[in-house]
Amino acid sequence: MSPDLLSQRMIAFVNIAHALDHFVLLIYPTAVIAIAAERQLPYATLIGLSTGAFVAFGLFSLPMGWLADRIGRRNLLAIFFGGCGIACLGLSTANSPIMFAIWLFVLGVFSAIYHPIGSTMLVTHTHRLGRDLGLNGVWGNLGAAFASGITAFLAASLGWRAAFILPGLVCLIAGVTFAKLVPSDGDGRTKSGSGNAMIPVARPMTLLLLFAVAIVAGGMTFNITTIALPKIIDERAGATLPLVLTGSLATLVFVFGALTQLLMGRLVDKFTLPRIFVGLSILQPIGLGIAALTSGIPMLCGLVLTMAAIYGQVVVNDAMVARYVPTEYRARAFSVRYFLGFTTSGLAVPLIALLHGMSGFTLVLSATSLFGGVVFLCSIGFLLTAHGLPDLSRMPAE
């Protein structure tokens, strides 16, 4: 197989894996609405069962870079497909809270493979970093977007168990196809263009600290908003909505995030990363503040603004790792980046349950806006720290 064909197939399956990764993790937050109605249990109790999944999602991302160096990135991605498929099928059989918690934890473990491994594979095989990161982000966002709508449709028409069975089968089929069509890791580094060039920095430790704090705070805004979104719309859209319509509105909000990621991919190839960082991060607390203080259409507009900023930030964060970290350390750097974001944000689920129980989603969204404010302050610090370097952070379009 030619290197070009291998790279094309690798990027295609990395994009599919990104969509499935976000899809399977967000089945439960929508299905839980139907499960709660069937079992007559409170939302706060049932959503809390997914805490282990989101903790595992971050915790197990840390060793993936090390593991990839030993068994290969291609093999790990194949394990991702198979493991997620089996976990979804296991969830469809759950009949007690403990079984929901166990299978959700298993799903979190296998889902943790994708981001550090898939991101490394993408930046290794891409010709144009910004464009392909943006497209990859769109795939992930559409996975998250359609998780709400498809899960709601399946749960309403076939029952919540079908909402886990069908995606599980898709994961297994994708894994078998990937194993047959992609025989090895390959190495696209020799064909990387200037879009992958590393940016030297004068104060790396300061930038690293600011970036790490922004990742942790951004992980909280990302997970609180994406996990709680279907229930926020269910409670605050201004009318009693059927589950299918709730899921469809959640999908629409996510789609706006996908469009932002496509735009960010183009901007990353043309403008400085610190300036894009600042412009995006200020939108998070603004959008969350609007959503917290309003209901109905204004609330949906606030959620759209928030989701666009959050998902656009994902593209910028990955571009920063790709451009500021030497090639030989990227897999481990992506592991640490997602470990910080996803493990700490595993606190999002119990925090949602706690704050929602105290004062509903007004308090949940208000608290989340504070995390968005931290991201904005870090972006300002990052810009000021990087300012004055001789135009090293500006990458020309290709």
pLDDT at 398: 38
Of 366, 231, 221, 372, the closest CA to residue 294 belongs to 366
Q: Do residues 116 and 338 make contact, with C-beta atoms less than 8 angstroms apart? A: yes
pLDDT at 390: 44
Q: Is 309 left (phi over 0), alpha (psi -120 to 50) or beta?
A: alpha
Which phi and psi (to 5°) does residue 388 adopt? 100, -15
pLDDT at 164: 96
pLDDT at 394: 44
Q: Domains (ranges, CATH) in the chain?
A: 3-386 (1.20.1250.20)
Whole-model pTM?
Answer: 0.74
- The DSSP 8-state label assigned to residue 198 in this structure reads P
Tell me which H or E stretch contains 332.
Answer: helix 330-338
d(CA 281, CA 322) in angstroms, rounded, equals: 20
d(CA 100, CA 120) in angstroms, rounded, equals: 32
pLDDT in tens, the chain (398 residues): 788 888 889 999 999 999 999 999 989 988 988 888 888 877 777 888 888 888 888 889 888 888 888 888 899 999 999 999 999 999 999 988 899 999 999 999 999 999 989 988 998 888 877 788 888 888 987 887 788 889 989 998 999 999 999 999 999 999 999 999 998 877 654 444 444 555 666 677 888 899 899 999 988 898 888 788 878 887 776 555 666 676 677 777 777 777 787 888 888 878 888 889 998 899 999 999 998 888 888 888 888 888 888 888 888 888 888 878 777 777 788 888 888 887 776 688 788 888 988 888 889 999 999 999 999 999 999 888 876 444 444 444 33
